[in-house]
Structure formats: structure tokens, C-alpha cells
Amino acid sequence: MSADTVKASTVQKEQSMVLQKQLIGDYYDSLGRAREEGRRVVSTFVPGNLTELLRSFDLLPILPEINALQSGMRKLSANYIAEAEKQGHSEDVCTYVKCDIGMLKSGNVGPTGVKLPNPDLLLLSYTGCFTFLKWFELLRQEYQCPVAMLHVPYLANGRIEPHHVDYVVQQLRTEVIPKLEQVSGRRFDEARLSEMLALSAQAEDDFVWVLESAKNEPSPIDAYFGGVYYIGPIFTAFRGTSQGVEYYRVLREEITERIRLGLGPVTPEGTMERQRYRLVVEGPPNWTSFREFWKMFYDEGAVVVASSYTKVGGLYDRGFRHDPNRPLKSLAEYCLGCYTNLGLPARVDLLERYIREYRADGFIINSVKSCNSFSVGQLLMLRQLEQRTGVPGGFIESDLVDPRYFSPANIKNRIESYLQMLEQKRGAGVTA
Amino acid sequence: MNPAIEQILSRAQTLYEDVDYKAVAEWKSCAPGRKAIGYMPIYVPRELIHAAGMLPVGIFGGGDRLEIIRGDAYFQSYICHIPRSTIELALSGRLDVLDGMLFPSICDVIRNLSGMWTMLFPGRYVRYVDLPQNYDARVGGEFWRRELTAIREDMARLAGGLITDQNLRNSIRIYNQNRRVIRELYQARSEAPWLYPIAQVYAVLRAGAVLPPEEHTTMVRRYLEMASQGSALPEDRSRVVLTGMFCEQPPLALLITLERAGCWIVDDDLLLGLRWFTGEVPEEGDAIENLAQAYLTQSVATASCYAPDGQRGRWLVDAVRQNRADGVIFCAPSFCDPALLEQPMLVAALEREHIPHTQFKYSEDTGQFAVIREQAGTFSDSIRLWSEA
């Protein structure tokens, strides 16, 4: 039951896709030229990233998670992981880390084939993931460069308290900004930062509009598989830039048009025609078999209308915006509010809201071996969500970038069985 | 064996084997209104619980003494064992004796376990203890003072009273005594490990997870005095430092296996939270400030704490030197992110100093030790036969 769900003849690159490809290509090229142009680069993480702050010093961010996932999508990660394990890294730990270390040990050629520069600083934005801390301690030994540590308190009860903000702002003032000044040779310019934050907020408005477009039926977007493309610029190097603003403006226009025409999301095989199941997904995707994984959904007519993964770089759809009038506090609140920095009860609350607000037929948890921050507690989340919403949940297991942990037959079987169960319940008129 | 030491060890062993926390229930029953607060590894400020008149209870999972019936249903296969046995303890009612739980920030597993606790046991007191990773007194210190003050208020509320400054200073003094005697035990063992077999040392230490600190200090002191008079003779074994066991604890049989394989364990990071501070917490002045400062400046080095100086592994090399160890055994729980991510950095530090090492993994309920015995035995033999010394 697959062919009729996607209309292959409509395969085409939309303008936003072309724009994004160009943005990312230019970005990696600029990293490749950084040394000859005398530009300084700073490695940092996606959750709680301080892109505008870095850009305000004319520093270029490098994001090891993005390098790892790009390596996964381009089938490079298996060799990198093998290289890291050969060097003594345990098979039990995060494969993003091992992919990054393996890439470094293999010559540090980035996913687009451009050799990446060594970072001048490691900005350890310790937000929602313990592994980040060890990751950059490992990298520090390799690069022998300074580290700026930003400890972002965990929101166990899901609320940002004033003293959390004070703690993060204090660290920005005493630890992060002085090191950025040192590396860049420039003084901190708060006005410049504010200008960038204004651009961020502008892009964030359009980004939220895009995410919420999935409330339409049919949904014009896939908020998980398509969503990972939509989050690209705003979660990484393009927040606070005019290119980022332009990307989301174009994307919004395209989706407006899709809604007007009653079209579904664009998949790698064309426009999705028939939407039989509206799903919410918790957890990151698998990158090594990303298209194959997505196809398992769209072949069955399953569209993802909301996902938690698209919130790891900020909960904009719950109202957060970068605020140019209170720049450092706003950055602190951004770091604190990222999805994986929320306690489990708050995560369950959020997913429950998504299931209700997006009128989902079901929800699927993709539990990845690499990420304890996401994965620990997901089996309880499954039960809690089923109890609270009456909507049945599915559970699959894979990994981020280690292809050994993506078992296509098993995963496909589970997804199909799960969707058949939804179908049967629907046929029987059962909602709970 | 000396009857007195036998009595101490019997008591310690009983406490170790007791997964029903009967000793805690007994302590509570001795006076009306007594309460007990559980805590997960590695470090929580136990002084604040004690100062409120409550009993701090270390929850180190169920080890190899608990059958997991429901706990496995809450965790994927690639997650370490301690959360599943801890959930099992709770779901089976064994932790009903506790009036609250503290979950310190050592890794994502223990962190998320705090959220699971909140959802599974609504109405029970749960607190995530966010330890600072910034060690500047004006920044991380200020944050930690605030956290300590909040925990103090919580503990006072749970106990139904106030925690006076004098109460807190008194508790600091009592825990200083406890940590001091444990340091003495470690020092004595390092000097004459044949007098302090690991099975005895571990059981006596582990009793500190459930006994009031005053009682535990007495137990350790008496054990130290008596064991030092033992008649065992030194044997030709390799002196090793064990590392990686700061959270999920290995089964006792594994530790005994290492000794039987020809190793004297002269230092380790077992039950690290019981001896978290390397020195004394000042007993006079502002108690909260003293606890905060002690955390910033006197904490042991371990994988879950950021090392601003980048000197990962220095502490391990120092431990080898100070204890005249011949080598290091990395002995980490399977799927333990902090220990396993840290390990390559520690290995590099040892190799720079030409210190031999070996490594294996365990789970708290590991039951087969033949391979470990063979590996540890080969390691010990190779050190004795081939080391430059």
C-alpha cells in the first residue's frame, strides 16, 4: 500500500531547498577558507548555541553534531566510528562523538569534502546533554585550544527561575565573552548583538508559522523528516543573519502556496498525496538511512505533524523569541528552554499538547542508542502519553549515525504493524 | 578471625545484603517522626539532611541481590543497570521507607531518572541536585549557595522544623569526622593492603550508605584498629588502582576476584560520594558558604565534574604515584557514559607516564567472573614479570 501516497511526477527542488543548499555549501566553503582569510572559528553545540554572540565577534561557528549527522547522511560515519573505536573509544557511547573523533583522526575533512580548520576555541554550551562535556574535553586534548564552559542549569520542573538566568548571564559575562574577546581580538559590542537578535526574532516568527502550518489538513509539511531541513538554518549558523531571515520568508511563501493548493509535503519522491495518519514523533531521526526511514512513513501515508526533535534548538512555538532589548538575558533563556534541557514531566506535557493541538492519530518514539538525554525515560513517556491522550504509541529503536543499529526490516515491520493497528482501531471506531 | 572484627564485618555484610532497607526502618522506628531521605550517587550535601534530624540513605541500586521483574520494562537494553534496579526497588515498595529522594547531576541517566520518579511517584518529594560546573566563587559558587539554601529549606520543611546554623555546623563536624576516618582507612590499606581485604573494606564503607554517620564513623574506626593488628603476611601481588566505579557498584564477588587474581587494590573510586572532599569543611562561620566553597575547591576529581585546567587524568597518575601502584584497572559499568567517555583521556595520561593498565566492563548483577579473573591475573602477572621495577 504505497505507490498512491506519493506523486512522483512532482519531484522538484523548491526555492527554499535551493537556498538552503547554497547556504550550507557557502558555509562549509567559508570554513574551508577561514585560515587563509584570517578568520577565527569556534566549535559549539546546537542546543543552547550562541550563534548571534559568535557572529557579533565575526567568529565562525563549527557544529560537530552537524558535521556528524551530515557524515551519517553521506555514508561516511561508519568508517569514522570504526576509527574512533580502534583508538579506544567504547562501543557503548555516543556515536556523534565517535564520528567526530574519527573524522578528526581521518584528516578532518568535512562532509562536503572541504578540510575543516582547527577551532580556536571550544564553546562548551553544556545544555541538556552530559556527553557534551566529555566530548569537548576529548576535543581539547586533540586541538590543544582553550575552552569556554557555559553550564546551563537543567529545568527539572520545566520552569525557568530568575536565578537560572542570573547564573547563565554571569557566565556569559565572566567566562564566555572574555574568551570570545580574546580569540577574536574584538571588544564585545552589545548593540551589534542586539541587531542580530532582532533578525533572529524575525526569522523565528516565520519558522513558527511553518511548524504550525502542520495543523492544516492535509498538512503541507512533514514536521519531522521535512522538519530537520526547516530547522537547519535557525538551529545552526544562520540565526541572526539576513540570509536566515530570507530563507524563512521564502519557505513561508512556499508553504502558504501549498496550503492554498491543498498540497502535502514534498518528499524525496515527490509530493505526498494521501495522508492517512497524522503522527507526532519523539526523538531524533536516524541519519545513516534517513531517506529509507522517511520512506517507511510516506509509503504508508503517514505524515508527521509535530516532533520534539525540531525543538532541540529552542522552543519557539511555545512563545520564546530572542529579544534585542535584553540580549544576554534573552540568550540565557534560550539556552535554558531547549527541549532536552526540560525535565521529563515537561517533555510529556509538551508532547501531549502536540498530540491534541495537531489532532494526531498516533505518536511514535524513535529511541536512539546514542542519546541517553533523549532516551532514558521514553518507555515511561510512552505509557504516560497513552494514558493521558488515549492515543496509541509506537516504539522503535535505532541510532543517530551508527549504521549497525539501523535494522531496516525490523523497523519497517514495526511501523507497518503500528499503522495497521491504528487502522484497525479507526475501523472499529475505537479512539482509546 | 578476631571475634570483635567478625562482629563488625557481620553487621556490615548484613547491611550490604539488605535490599529491604530494614536498618533504615529500624532507625526510623526508634523515635516518632523520624524521616529518611534517599540519594543517588555520587555527591549530595548529606550534611543538610543530617542537620534536619533525618537519615541520609545512599541508594546504589540492587546489585546482584535483587531480581529485576518490572525495572527492565522501563529501560532500553543499552542503558546501564543501576536505574532499572533502582526503579525495581521503588516499584516493589522497598523504598517506601524513604520520605524523599535526591538525584545529583552526574549523567543524563540519573538526571532523567529524577523525572521518572516525579511521574511514577506523584506526591513524594523529589529533587534534582544541579551541581555547578563553574567553579568561580562569584558565579558557580553563588548558584550553588542558592541551591544549598533551597535544599536546606526543603529538608527543614520535610523534617517539620528549622535547621539552625548550629545544627548545620554540627553536621559538618560529624561528616568531617566520617570522611577523615575513611581517608585513614584508605591510607592504611594503601600501606598494608594484605591487612585490609577489599571485601572487608568495601562492606564497612558501604555501611555508610545506611548508617547514621556517627555510628558509621565508630564502625570504621573500630575496624581500622582491629584490622591493623591482623597477622596476615604480605604476598607478592601487584598493587593496582581501580577506577570507573563511582556510580553503579560492582558485585562484591568481582572485587574479591580481582584480589584472588593477584592484585592488591591500593586505591579506588568506589562509593566516592562518602569521601567527596579531599580536606576538611570549615566547622566555624557560615555553614552554607563553607559547604559551597568546599565543593568548589575540595571536590575529588571524577568524570562527571568539568576539569577547567584540562588536566584529565592527572589525579589518576597522582593516585598511582601516591599509592606506589604498579598499574591501573579500568573497571566501568557497561553503558556508563561518564566513565567510558573519560577512559580514553585517562588512558592517554597513563601512557604518557608509562603506567600499565587494563580494562573491562561489568554490570552490578554480573555473575560470571572467569574471564575477568583471567584478564586481571594476566595483567598482574605481566606487571610482576615484566615491569621495569
Which region among A322-331, B103-112, B229-238 has the lowest average model confidence (pLDDT)? B229-238
Q: Look up residue A182 and give its three cell numbers.
A: 580574546
Kindly give, in sequence order, each residue whose CB lies less than 8 Å from that of residue B147, ignoring residues fewer than 6 positions away: B129, B130, B132
Domains of chain A, first to last = 3-14+192-427 (3.40.50.11900), 32-185 (3.40.50.11890)
Nearest CA in chain B to A157: B115
A131 in reach of chain B (CB within 8 A): yes
pLDDT at A2: 47
Nearest CA in chain B to A154: B130
- B165 CA: distance to closest CA in chain A (Å): 24
Q: What is the pLDDT of residues A233-275, one digit of tens each?
A: 998 889 999 999 999 999 999 999 999 999 999 999 999 999 9
In sign, the C-alpha dihedral spanning B268, B271, B275, B277 is: positive
Question: Going edge to edge, which strands form the sheet with A393-398?
Answer: A302-307, A277-282, A362-368, A393-398
Cβ contact A384–B119 (<8 Å):
yes
List the CATH code of the domain at B18-168: 3.40.50.11890
A160 in reach of chain B (CB within 8 A): no
In chain B, what percentage of residues exceed pLDDT 90?
A: 96
Q: Within 13 Å, how many C-alpha atoms sit on residue B168's CB side?
A: 23
- A270 CA: distance to closest CA in chain B (Å): 36
Concatenated DSSP letters of A354-402: HHHHTT-SEEEEEEETT-HHHHTTHHHHHHHHHHHH---EEEEEE-SS-
Residue found under cell 534517599 = B38
Contact A43, A62 (CB under 8 A): yes
Cβ contact A171–B139 (<8 Å):
yes
Nearest CA in chain B to A372: B108
> Omega of the bond prior to A218 within 30 degrees of 0, cis?
yes
The Cα–Cα gap between B27 and A398 comes to: 47
Cβ contact A372–B142 (<8 Å):
no
- A10 CA: distance to closest CA in chain B (Å): 41
Question: For residue A174, what is the DSSP state?
Answer: I
User: Please, is A37 exposed, middle or buried when counting C-beta atoms within 10 Å of its C-beta (0-12, 13-18, 19+)?
Assistant: exposed
Kindly give, in sequence order, each residue whose CB lies less than 8 Å from that of residue A7, ignoring residues fewer than 6 positions away: A270, A271, A272, A273
The Cα–Cα gap between A5 and B310 comes to: 54
Cβ contact A376–B143 (<8 Å):
no
Q: Look up residue A252 and give its three cell numbers.
A: 513561508
User: Please, is B267 exposed, middle or buried when counting C-beta atoms within 10 Å of its C-beta (0-12, 13-18, 19+)?
Assistant: buried
pLDDT at A12: 61
Q: Look up residue A32 and give its three cell numbers.
A: 574551508
The Cα–Cα gap between B272 and B179 comes to: 11
Q: Look up residue B362 and give its three cell numbers.
A: 561489568
Q: Cα Rg for chain B, rounded, in angstroms?
A: 20
pLDDT at B388: 55
Cβ contact B119–A90 (<8 Å):
no
User: Please, is B235 exposed, middle or buried when counting C-beta atoms within 10 Å of its C-beta (0-12, 13-18, 19+)?
Assistant: exposed
In chain A, residues with a C-beta closer than 8 Å to the C-beta of B361 are: 92
Cβ contact A134–B303 (<8 Å):
yes
pLDDT at A178: 98
pLDDT at A430: 55
In sign, the C-alpha dihedral spanning B222, B226, B228, B233 is: negative
pLDDT at A402: 96
pLDDT at B330: 98
Cβ contact B118–A154 (<8 Å):
no
Considering only the beta carbons, identify the residue of A89, A147, A156 that sits closest to B115.
A156
- In terms of DSSP bridges, do strands A270-272 and A6-7 run parallel, antiparallel, or are they unpaired? antiparallel
Mean pLDDT of each 10-residue bin along chain A, 432 residues long: 54 82 92 94 95 97 94 95 96 97 94 91 95 96 95 97 97 98 98 98 98 98 97 91 96 97 95 96 97 97 98 95 98 97 98 98 97 97 98 97 96 97 83 46
pLDDT band (50, 70, 90) for residue B359 = very high
Cβ contact A93–B120 (<8 Å):
no
Pick the closest to residue B55 from B79, B82, B27, B78 (CA basis): B27
Nearest CA in chain B to A174: B139
The Cα–Cα gap between B164 and B345 comes to: 44
pLDDT at A11: 52
- A88 CA: distance to closest CA in chain B (Å): 6
In chain A, residues with a C-beta closer than 8 Å to the C-beta of B347 are: 88
The Cα–Cα gap between B272 and B251 comes to: 16
Cβ contact A175–B134 (<8 Å):
yes
Q: Look up residue A6 and give its three cell numbers.
A: 506519493
Alpha helices by DSSP H, B230-286? 252-260
Please state, as a whole number, how many other Cβ atoms lie within 10 Å of the Cβ of residue B367: 9
- A72 CA: distance to closest CA in chain B (Å): 21
**Residue B73 above 50 pLDDT?**
yes
Backbone dihedral angles phi then psi of residue A44, each to the nearest 5 degrees: -155, 175
Q: Where are the domains of chain B?
A: 18-168
* Mean pLDDT over the full length of chain B: 96
Q: Look up residue B283 and give its three cell numbers.
A: 566547622
Q: What is the ipTM of this complex?
A: 0.95
Kindly give, in sequence order, each residue whose CB lies less than 8 Å from that of residue B87, ignoring residues fewer than 6 positions away: B70, B71, B74, B75, B113, B116, B120
Considering only the beta carbons, identify the residue of B78, B108, B335 that sits closest to A129.
B108
**Candidates A85, A123, A130, partner chain B, best to mutate (most B CBs within 10 A):** A130
Q: What is the pLDDT of residues A338-368, one digit of tens each?
A: 999 999 999 999 999 999 999 999 999 999 9
DSSP element (H, E) containing A21: helix A15-33
In chain A, residues with a C-beta closer than 8 Å to the C-beta of B79 are: 372, 375-376
Considering only the beta carbons, identify the residue of B79, B130, B134 that sits closest to A376.
B79
Cβ contact A138–B341 (<8 Å):
yes
Cβ contact A90–B338 (<8 Å):
no
Q: What is the pLDDT of residues B10-49, one digit of tens each?
A: 999 999 999 999 999 999 999 999 999 999 999 999 999 9
Pick the closest to residue A323 from A196, A206, A211, A236 (CA basis): A196
Average pLDDT for B282-309: 96
pLDDT at A14: 84
A87 in reach of chain B (CB within 8 A): yes
pLDDT at A1: 42
CA dist list (Å): A281 to A8, A103, A302, B11: 25, 30, 11, 51
Contact B47, B294 (CB under 8 A): no
pLDDT at A432: 42
Average pLDDT for B273-301: 97
Please state, as a whole number, how many other Cβ atoms lie within 10 Å of the Cβ of residue A109: 15
Pick the closest to residue A238 from A31, A51, A47, A425 (CA basis): A51
Backbone dihedral angles phi then psi of residue A7, each to the nearest 5 degrees: -100, 100
**Residue B250 above 50 pLDDT?**
yes
The Cα–Cα gap between A314 and A234 comes to: 9
Cβ contact A344–B308 (<8 Å):
no
In chain B, what percentage of residues exceed pLDDT 70?
A: 99
